[in-house]
Amino acid sequence: MAGSTEESLNMQAFLKGGTAGLSTSKEKSAASTSKESKQSKKHIPWVEKYRPRSVDDVAYQEEVVAVLKKSLQGLDLPNLLFYGPPGTGKTSTILAAAKELFGDIYKNRVLELNASDERGIGVIREKVKMFAQQSASSTRPDGKPCPGFKIIILDEADSMTQPAQAALRRTMEKESKTTRFCLICNYVSRIIEPIASRCAKFRFKPLAEDILCQRLKDICDKENINCEPEAIKGFIYTSEGDLRKAITYLQSASRLKAEDTITKADVYEIAGKLINDGHAASQVITQLHDKVVVADELDDKQKSVICEKLAIVDKCLMDGADEYLQLMALFMTLMQQICHGGK
């Protein structure tokens, strides 16, 4: 009897030790998970960290914000077509509106696709069509009302092929009761008319310099960055009104300078490296355009010929043409107009 009592006590002690060991391992894993989540938050790109969280946070796009606010109040939304220069808040605006509409069920109600990567007819027939056919309730888990539809966001929709756009038009027709579409593009002329006519079109204006300046200063204050006023202007100039690009340059400069003050020279050094890494041709075209427009040694006819060629080259580059060949053709036109007077 005494032996069995002793064995049961030993068994209880063993089990207690085992559960203690398990709880300790769970605590360690939880601590490591929280530590990893803190580290991941530290390394979030500033473009995502300071993305607008609500429609009210969207800067300088009053018309779009006013329409979306009315849609949020009435819980209804038309198909949308956002177009305009990059970095003006097109994607951020629709994401902020969708989060306000759906709250915690945002991931179940919103399908976001980058049409430049997934632009074939197969994606429209599979992903988009299957998601559009799913039913949606008009209440959220927290009891608040929400729209009885889903939202499909097609970023860079002007890169979609013609057959894909035709298939998308049919899906928009059939699933209009359960799905809303938001197409985002830089060039609205590349969207076929049957799709454009089914959407409320909004042009996103290039951000004003004072808006860009204020946003960059706010980020500097929140991140404790020392930045000269001329450096802020340098970010705005090198980014060409693209807030996303300006924030990326600012983050790169802060990593490079650590706790030192960011100067104008630092901005141009960093921007030059990033430009040379990727978008050299487009940058050359932009700079040439700015020089040609104000050049006193060129007459109006010469300027029109050069600007027309700049537009053609820019279009070819957007379609994936070879950068070297396009720039050579551009420089030949420049030489013809400047050196030979267009003859």
Question: What's the fold here for domain 209-277?
Answer: Helicase, Ruva Protein; domain 3 (1.10.8)
- Quick check: 85 pLDDT over 50? yes
| Entry field: residues in the chain | 343
Predicted pLDDT of residue 193: 92
- Quick check: 36 pLDDT over 70? no
CA nearest to 314, candidates 277, 343, 287, 276: 287
Average pLDDT value over all residues in the chain: 77
Predicted pLDDT of residue 21: 43
**How remote is the C-alpha of 173 from its chain's centroid?**
27
For 251, the token pair is 């983050």
Tell me the pLDDT band of 24, cut-offs 50, 70 and 90.
Answer: very low
Predicted pLDDT of residue 8: 52
| Residue 24: partners with Cβ closer than 8 Å, 6 or more residues away | none
For 333, the token pair is 């036109």
Predicted pLDDT of residue 234: 85
For 303, the token pair is 């300027």
Mean pLDDT of 286-294: 82
- For the ranges 104-113, 186-195, 282-291, the lowest mean pLDDT is seen at 282-291
Query: In Å, how far are 123, 231, 236, 274, 284 from 264, measured between CA atoms?
Result: 45, 4, 11, 16, 21
| Residue 319: partners with Cβ closer than 8 Å, 6 or more residues away | none
Neighbours of 8 (CB within 10 A): 10
Question: Which CATH architecture fits 55-203?
Answer: 3-Layer(aba) Sandwich (3.40)
Question: 3-state DSSP call for residue 200?
Answer: strand
pTM (global) more than 0.85: no
For 202, the token pair is 């909004």
Burial 92-131 (b: 16+ CB within 10 A, else e): bbbbbbbbbbbeebeeebbbbbebeebbebebbeeebbeb
- Quick check: 11 pLDDT over 80? no
Predicted pLDDT of residue 39: 44
Tell me the pLDDT band of 74, cut-offs 50, 70 and 90.
Answer: low
Q: What is the pLDDT of residues 198-240, one digit of tens each?
A: 888 888 887 888 888 888 999 989 888 888 888 888 888 888 7
Eight-class DSSP state of 56: G
For 142, the token pair is 């927290």
Domain ranges across the chain: 55-203, 209-277, 280-339
- Quick check: 287 pLDDT over 50? yes
Mean pLDDT of 22-42: 45
